[in-house]
Structure 1
Amino acid sequence: MTQEPSAAQQAIGDITPKLADLTYQVLFGDVWERPGLSPRDRSLVTVTALIALYRTDQLGFHLKLAMDNGLTKEELSEAITHLAFYAGWPNAMGAADRLKAILADEG
C-alpha cells in the first residue's frame, strides 16, 4: 500500500524533495506536535510572524490552518489590527486583504 504524498511533497517535492520531507517530518511531524503549545497557539504565533515579516506566500495557508486549529475570524482580525502598530500598516493591510479573500472563498 502506498502512502499519499504530503501537501509539501505535492507542492515542492519534485523540485526540492528533501525540503518537502523536512517540512512534513520535522516541521509538521515534530515541531507542530510538541506539547508546549497547543496547535491553536502555534497557529497564532505563526500567523503573526508571517504578517510581521511580510511573508505573504505562506500566509493564506496558515490563516486557513489557524481557523482549522480553532482561531476565529474575530481573533485573527484583532491580531491583524494589533500588528498594524507593531509590524507596519502595509503588512496588516495585506494580511487583512488575504483573510478577507479566504473568508469569501469559504462562503
Structure 2
Amino acid sequence: MFGDFAPGLVHFTDDVLFGEVWKRTGLSPKDRSLVTVTALAARGNTEQLVYHLGLAQENGNSETELIEAITHLAFYAGWPQAMAAMAVAKNVFRG
C-alpha cells in the first residue's frame, strides 16, 4: 500500500512487526491477535481493526470470543470505544 511512498514504514511493518514480533514464541498467534484487537478497540483505531478482526479469526479466535472481548473491554476502555469496535466487528462478521 505504501511501498513507493513510505518504504521505511513498509519495511518495519513487514519485516519487524509481522516478520519478527508476530513470530515470537511467548504468545500464540491466537493470543497475539486477541491482544491486538483489544488494544486497537481500546484506542479507537477502527480502520486497523477491520484487518485484525479477520486475522484474529484466521489465527483461531471465534466470532463469539472476539465479541465477548469487545464487550468486556467496554468496562475498562470506555463505552464509546467498545460500541465503535462492535460496529466494526458486526460489519466484518455479518457485512
Flag whether TM exceeds 0.5 (same fold): yes
How many percent identity over aligned positions? 58
| Correspondence for 1:39 | 29
Counterpart amino acid of residue 13 in structure 1: G
Which TM-score applies when normalising by structure 1? 0.85
Q: Secondary structure at the match of 1:12?
A: coil
Rg (Cα) greater in structure: 1
**In the alignment, structure 1 residue 71 sits paired with structure 2 residue 92:** no
> Structure 1: 5+ residue runs without aligned partners?
1-10
Q: Tell me which of 81, 85, 95 is aligned to 1:91.
A: 81
Measure how far apart 1:103 and its partner are. Answer: 1.2
Structure with the larger RCO, 1 or 2 (CA within 8 Å, 6+ apart): 2
Structure 1 segment 17-56 matched on structure 2, within 5 A: 17-56=7-46
Measure how far apart 1:104 and its partner are. Answer: 2.0
| Correspondence for 1:101 | 91
Which TM-score applies when normalising by structure 2? 0.96
> Structure 2: 5+ residue runs without aligned partners?
none
> May I ask how many residue pairs the two structures share in their alignment?
95
